Structure 1
Amino acid sequence: MILRLGPSMLCASVLALTCACEILPASEARPAVLTNPTAQSRAELSRVVSEALHGAPVRLAEDALAHDSVLIIGRVQARDAAGLPLNGRELDKPQHFRLVEHAARCFLIQESTGKRWRLRSATCAPAPGGASG
């Protein structure tokens, strides 16, 4: 069986695929901070950061991204009874994330990959002075 798409069906398919992706022009995104974080928005932020770190568990401060648009996540190092690192020196670099606002929507950007997540349950506002860090 061969499926043939007419020009109108092909155009509709292309339009649907185009609309499925949310484009965030970097030039229009502004550094942002979370406003009135809720348990739901904090849970979403933790889930997104964990997803970005390939499922690694994360623990974020209650006020993460509420005062600054930059979030830095470092790996917690396992230590022995004397407080010395079990694996020696930690060589992994901390992961940097940036919160931006565009068209009244909040986006979290992982600096190392450029990957972006829209935070649907969060509200944000431009960072004071437009500073990002």
Structure 2
Amino acid sequence: MKAITILTLGSMLILTGCQSGSAAEPAVLVAGGAEVRQQLNDFITGIVGGNTVTLADDVLMHSAELFIEQRMPMDSQGRPLDGRHSLPSYRFVLVKVGDSCILQHPGSGKSIRLNGARCQLAPR
């Protein structure tokens, strides 16, 4: 009887925990502006090792994912170095958690909450 009571209480705690937190779901930006783009730029620049990135005005408004290609290392003549032309892209994902828009970099596990951004769930 004690085992059933403990099992029932444990199940109730797990279900309560699941309901209290909002799950992260892929999202697209609805509104952001220059401040949000600057936050995106700063976060992405930090992930890609300080290389500057140029983001479109409508970044993350049509897709929840953003891919940034790595700059190919060049020799002194401006030619790609041998064996260095298949570098993987950096992948970023915008998710909505409650009312917050969060940009995640799954490769590093880092994320940033975008202050002043509004997002909605991405179309499936």
The TM-score normalised by the length of structure 1 is 0.66
Residue matched to 2:123: 128
Q: 80, 101, 111: which is aligned to 1:86? A: 80
Structure 1 gaps, min length 5: 1-24
5 Å matches for 1:83-122?
85-88=79-82, 89-122=84-117
Q: 31, 41, 52: which is aligned to 1:46? A: 41
Q: CA deviation at 1:79?
A: 6.3
Residue matched to 2:16: none
Say which is worse superposed, 39-48 or 51-60, in terms of deviation.
Answer: 51-60
Question: How high is the sequence identity, in percent, across the aligned residues?
Answer: 32
The TM-score normalised by the length of structure 2 is 0.71
Distance in 1 between the 2:50 and 2:71 partners? 15
Residue matched to 2:27: 32
**How much is the aligned-residue C-alpha RMSD, in angstroms?**
2.3
Larger strand fraction of residues: 2
Structure 2 gaps, min length 5: 1-20
